[in-house]
Structure 1
Amino acid sequence: MKQLKIFLLSTAVFFMALGCSNEDVNSSDTSSGNLDQTSLDIAQTSGQLASGTSFRIAGSSADSTGTSTADCKPGRNGARHNRQKGILDGLNLIAPTDELLALVDAESASDIRGLRISRNGGATITNYNASGEVVMLPFYATDGPQGCSFSGHQFPLYDSLLSSIVKTEIDFGTGVTYKRDTVEITRAGKIIITRTKDGSTVTEVTTFDGYSVNGIKIAGTKTRVSTFDSSTGTGSSTTSVANGVITLADGTVTTWKSDKSRVSKITFSESTGFPASGTITTDVDASVVATDGTLIYSHKTTSPLVENIACEGRRHGPVSGTLETVYRTDTLVVDFGDGTCTNKTITITLNGVTTTKTIGE
């Protein structure tokens, strides 16, 4: 599988194509202990939500060498795509419970991956320019931009069209149900993204209009402010959530908070114009807390997550940094490594017990 690492800090997102061909299979599990698969899935998805990158942890539901049985079916150009339960189509994001599914939708709503989740889930996605006219995007590949973000010159033919979009509506209407195997996901309502630009600063505001996933309601306003200086390859992006509320299916009302900052220092290739080296450093702190103070979920960096652009396909995801995730009564701490591209080892500590795993894509 080819990873398309795209960078433009007006959106700071990454395109991924999901597959399970032989060359994509992770190296074997080097576990020194055992984690249940749900814990591995939580560790993987919280790491992806925090860093914005896609990767697989050996033994997770997304790993074809793990304990689950993968159902790989032919896809575009003969590629074989993982159709395993729990995986959101087109990504390695995993939602083992409805609570985590809602968190994935909330955190990813305005990213490229969020657009892909919505498109695969049956939403109607409409883009508008400043005059209120519909902007049509001529898609030539299923892994191209979905109207949410600039392509970072990976798809230059689209960029002029994308730059004219000031509003995107993702509409599930009164409800659209996506079913795979025995798993059903029903989404309803709208996600609305508006964009403004002032010089090199781009502001994206995401709101939820009657939005729900499997009966869990999501509300709030997410604001992302990004700057990027192409002459120096430096940029920053900050994301915050205001008035975030997630109402669980049983009626439990929770407060959703999320803050993320990302700083980049990128060198572009003179021959291709694509990122060739540099780092992206991310700090994040997100939580879902019930009104009675019960912590449902949280993830936060205890040391910044660092991605090394020069690693290319040798190392997917962060090369260093530590992320702590709490889900209900369990605490997971993931140490992403020593900063080198060749290292494939991460350590996951569940409730004080440490396990070694491999990471790949």
Structure 2
Amino acid sequence: MTAAIDLATVWAFIIAFAVFVYVVMDGFDLGLGILFPLFPKKEDRDVIMNSVAPVWDGNETWLVLGGGGLMAAFPLAYAVLMPALYTPMIAMLIGLIFRGVAFEFRWRVTQGKRNRWDIAFAGGSLLATLAQGIALGAILQGVHVEGRHYAGGWWNWLTPFSVLTGIALAIGYALLGATWLVMKTEGPLRDKAYHLCWFLLFAMIGAIGAVSIATPFLHIQYTQRWFNWPNVILTAPVPIAVAAVTVLLLRSLANKWDYQPFFLTLALFALSYAGLGISMWPYIVPQSITIWQAASPENSQIFMLFGVAALVPLILGYTGWAYWVFRGKVRAGSGYH
């Protein structure tokens, strides 16, 4: 029994890690798509695409690991959550398909048709981001479970809170995209990205605050987890750290540093993700199913661990190598064609 509990916890952290790495890796290029309409010049758009071209298409690996790991390690949670989230999940996949196809096709068509693919790239990025944020909000607010089945309706995922989390994620990804441009570009494009960072940072802090205020009202368990004594001793460092990172991020933008804004924005995402984990633990379907109740048999989890132990370091290795090889600034007239 102890081994089964430990394995369930290990797999919960593996899936959480995979999802977070996906957010880190794919968040900034989805953010670039969201920001695309704000950069109407062809030269700027080409530089934006070239800045992410060498690394963007491996990011969904982590999404597959997170979704596949959920299905294999916690099949009950997968069986309950997927019917509850069919619509946002389908919307996310459609958005990712449009974004991926547009990324490749825009280089191989005339200027008029390229504008159409630019619209598809921006629209697909925004659709995928909103769908991810709405799905997150729908999970956090809980789904209607009876026995071992989803018992809610087709549109239960659509609530003011889930729309709020969708908008908040879009703002966060846009800030990641803007700080990525600060790090990877130069000249007027970089200056415009700096300017956008200021507005997006304050919008993101407002979004974090709005979601943080709304979350305790979803369930009494969230309120108890964050504010009851002695839990507050463990939870208080999270908002304090958010405030500290925000101050550092403002300082880095004021000094017009290139690299710090991006990594500090990632720190804000990490702290927000930690807050999500604090709220949900140990439930994988909030207030309904714990990780132990949803876990697959012990032998299955052990078998899958061998594959994860071999593949995850390999994926991290070649991903890190790709970022290292293509480090530095991207200039107009060079890159992916």
TM-score, normalising length: structure 1: 0.30
Q: Which has the larger radius of gyration?
A: 2
TM-score, normalising length: structure 2: 0.31
Q: Which has the higher strand share?
A: 1
Q: Which has the higher contact order (CA 8 A, sep 6+)?
A: 2
